[in-house]
Structure 1
Amino acid sequence: MSTTTQSIREQWISDLCAHIADRSETGSWMVAVRYGRDAVTFGALTSAVNDYRRIVGEQGMSLESALTAALLHSAPSLVELDSVDRGRTLNQMIHWLGRDVVATPISTTTTLRSVG
């Protein structure tokens, strides 16, 4: 993944977490995602993301790691899946949650910089 693509993904995940937190403020009881017998509310997901954000931050890990851990924590039946299916399901959940979040484009305008 290129640095630009990675930066766009990181910004999108940041915007997604802000979107989830905003939804939590107005309807924390509303279900954000479901898997099997697990129904994850916006409130529970926001709380878990905030808790895991501190943990992964201490380890130098990304916000996406916090979101992934929060989903696994909030929907424990995901652990029963094999690793490939779990990864695919988590990816689908993240894309479902971010269906209304537009990726912020990074400027591709060439700029001059001083060298010397």
Structure 2
Amino acid sequence: MPIDQERRSACLGPEGSVAHVTRVLSMISGRWKLPILFRLFAEPTMRTSRLLRDIPDLSQKVLTQHLRELERDGLVARRDFGRQPPHVEYGLTDAGASLMPVLLSMREFSRLHAADVPGAPD
């Protein structure tokens, strides 16, 4: 395979950079997924009732949906204590915790370049 073809494949192929970054972006896409991840980063374990209190305008239905998706993608773990009344807590998995420095770097990038983008938050 020619060198240019190898480079192109490393970026654009099915196992290339674009595919991997796109996969991560799809894992965190959704209006409430980032707020959920950041809250679980700030507090290691939380119950759904606390997440609902801490994230204004988030509905129980959407919270449950996003938590299931984050769990399916391996970013969040659900711990069921098997009690009555039900006691369930959520926390970041090792994979979720390892994603946080990337998200914090993105936040810093935004802060550093906010002046370059019209309408960006200060």
Q: Which one has a bigger Cα radius of gyration? A: 2
Q: TM-score by structure 1 length? A: 0.27
Instruction: Give the number of the structure with larger relative contact order, counting CA–CA contacts within 8 Å between residues 6 or more apart.
Output: 1
Q: TM-score by structure 2 length? A: 0.26
